[in-house]
Every structure is written in structure tokens, then in C-alpha cells.
Amino acid sequence: MPCRILLADHSPLFRAGLRALLEQKKDFVVVGDTGDAMTAVSLAEKLKPDIVMLDMSGELDSQQALQELFIRAPACRVLMFSPRSELEHVMSCLQLGAHGFLLKNATVSELEQALQTLRGGGQFLSSAVLPMVIGQALKHSRKRVVSQVQTPPLTTRQLEILRLIARGETTRSIADGLGLSIKTVEAHRSQIMHRLQIHDVPGLVLFAVREGIIRLND
């Protein structure tokens, strides 16, 4: 069954182009589009799309719409897309609960990857902003007491490894730093992904930031 998508962008020309592009793909179908963020919420509630692509350029009241979507259409996955790549702008989307962030200058293949990832229940960060998020998280990260982190049950060691993964550490550096074998670290990472139902590093970074396991601003 094709993935059902709702488009919300202030530009009629952009919406038309994106609709034409997606309708060429057999895996996607556009069920509606609008230039108004709050109208998008009403349409999402009525049409029940799999994914809402929500413009975050500043022309739409996207932040309020994002919050309303989680109340009125909680089954929808939300992909924010924007021409801006500033850290605060990206983080405002993630902290409000968006499932992904995509830059408007993304390639067609990256757009498809983002939609397929969200469709499969994952989370997506545009490749252009992922290093920035990890880098800033590394500078401003702080540890939280395990009991304060509202996650599926992870052990203290798994939380420690998740934090290091989200900060951009390699498997070898994690193993060396914790005095573990590479195979042990890989086993922990596999268990973390299984428990969280997140199967890629960008998704783990998003989860760690949103849950406060790492923070960009203390």
C-alpha cells in the first residue's frame, strides 16, 4: 500500500512541484496539500495520512501546528522541512517532537530515504545537519541520573553506550574508553536498537537529544 502524504507549505509552486515529484513514485500518494499550518492539522485529523510534511520556513505557524498534530492526529509521522540549517532552528523542531528534519535543498534520493525511514517507524535527520547536531551535543552534553530518563528499560551500561554513540564516538573508541571488546559494544548497540525500535544512528541521536540523554543547552 502506498505511503499517504499530506503537504503543508506556504508556497503553491513548491507544493505543486513536490506533489508532481511524489506522484511519480509508486510508493507514495499525496492525499492533500495546504498553505496553512493549522489547516494542515485539520486535514491530518480528517485524512489520516501516514506522514505530514510540514514547512518550517517561518511563513507558517509550524510550531503550534506540530503540537496540535500530536494531540489531534497522533498516528501521523511528521517530517519538518526547511531552507534553514541553523542549530537552534533544527533543535526547535526536534524538541517539539518532529520525527525528522529535511532541508529543502535535499536531493530526491534523500527525500525518498526520509519518507521511507519515517514510514518504517524510524526517525530521520538530513545529512547536512547531522554532524552539527552531534558536534554541538558533544560540546554541551551532560549526564543525567538514570532514573530521570524516561526510556524503555535500558541498563546503566546501555545508557552510557547510547550517550557515547549519540555524541559521535566510534565503536572502537567506545570499547577502548570503557575497557570493553568491540564485540561487546556491538552487542550492546544491537540490544539498544532492539529495545528502542530504532535501527540507525541518526535515529539514536534524535532519541538521545529528545529524551535529555544528551543536551545542547544546559
Residue 186's pLDDT is 87
- Is residue 209 within 8 A of residue 123, CB to CB? The reply is no
* pLDDT of 143 strictly over 50: no
**Superfamily designation of domain 3-128:** Response regulator (3.40.50.2300)
* pLDDT of 146 strictly over 50: no
Residue 144's pLDDT is 42
**Do the domains at 3-128 and 133-211 have one common CATH topology?**
yes
* pLDDT of 218 strictly over 50: no
Choose between 31 and 132: higher pLDDT. 31
- Local confidence band at 60 (pLDDT 50, 70, 90 cut-offs): low
Question: Under CATH, what is the fold of the domain 133-211?
Answer: Rossmann fold (3.40.50)
- For the chain, the structural domain boundaries read 3-128, 133-211
**Residue 98: closest CA among 116, 79, 112:** 79
Ranges 31-45, 75-89, 120-134, 142-156, most confident: 31-45
Residue 148's pLDDT is 44
Residue 44's pLDDT is 96
What's the CA gap between 95 and 132, in Å, rounded?
A: 16
Instruction: Give the end-to-end CA distance of the chain in Å, rounded to a whole number.
Output: 44
Spacing of C-alpha 206 from chain mean position: 6
pLDDT tens digits for 7-45?
A: 999 899 999 999 999 999 989 999 999 998 889 999 999
- Is residue 60 within 8 A of residue 34, CB to CB? The reply is no
pLDDT tens digits for 171-198?
A: 888 999 999 998 999 899 889 988 888 8
The vertex-112 CA angle with 107 and 116, nearest 5°, equals 150
Spacing of C-alpha 106 from chain mean position: 15
- Is residue 146 within 8 A of residue 159, CB to CB? The reply is yes
- Local confidence band at 47 (pLDDT 50, 70, 90 cut-offs): very high
Residue 85's pLDDT is 76
